[in-house]
């Protein structure tokens, strides 16, 4: 009887700290959520990212199809970004694979890879591709483009970094894109 009680107490004492750690991570992750896409979605951004000003957004993305919002790692001078654009283009979740294939064909020169994933029960398409870096002819830009249907409209989320910084920031960027909720 004493051995059973001691064994039960030992098991409870060993698992209680693990339970506390698991709950803390969930709560801290939820507390670190950032609203995006006019509040239609949220994401857990990696540590060290700050919101890009409208001026910097216009400078980094000069054309009219620039993302509506972006975050970047300030100490890397804009070489690492996560950006979002909630478009007005209607799209159903079932149409995302076809859309991703069209995008892949537009990027065929750079050997893009299309990946289908599910995040929080939602079907999403991703394209991973390295494109040329105009600022560094010997380097490249590693891109992850993520396409989702949010309220029947196309949402595009992107992570990009120079190839020289991919090992340092790539996995955190992918993890962040995988945290999107809508």
Residue 11 or 165, more confident: 165
Question: What confidence category does residue 30 fall into, taking pLDDT thresholds of 50, 70 and 90?
Answer: low
**List of residues 6+ apart from 50 with CB closer than 8 A:** 71, 72, 74
| pLDDT value of residue 16 | 32
5 pLDDT more than 50: no
28, β-bridge pairs = none
Delimit the domains of the chain by residue range: 32-177
CATH number of 32-177: 3.40.1000.10
CA separation for the pair 67, 154 (Å, rounded): 13
């Amino acid at each position: 009887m004493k051995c059973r009680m001691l064994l039960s107490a030992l098991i409870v004492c060993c698992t209680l700290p693990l339970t506390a750690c698991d709950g803390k991570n969930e709560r801290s992750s939820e507390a670190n959520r950032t609203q995006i896409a006019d509040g239609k979605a949220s994401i857990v951004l990696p540590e060290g990212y700050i919101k890009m000003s409208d001026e910097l957004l216009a400078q980094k993305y000069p054309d009219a199809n620039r993302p509506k919002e972006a975050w970047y790692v300030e100490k890397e001078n804009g070489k690492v970004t996560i950006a979002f654009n909630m478009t007005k283009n209607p799209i159903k979740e079932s149409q995302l694979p076809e859309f991703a294939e069209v995008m892949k064909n537009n990027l065929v020169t750079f050997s893009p890879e299309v990946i289908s994933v599910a995040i929080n029960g939602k079907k999403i398409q991703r394209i991973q591709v390295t494109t040329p870096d105009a600022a560094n002819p010997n380097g490249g830009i590693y891109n992850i483009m993520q396409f989702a249907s949010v309220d029947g409209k196309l949402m595009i989320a992107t992570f990009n970094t120079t190839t020289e910084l991919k090992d340092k920031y790539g996995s955190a960027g992918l993890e962040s894109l995988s945290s999107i909720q809508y």
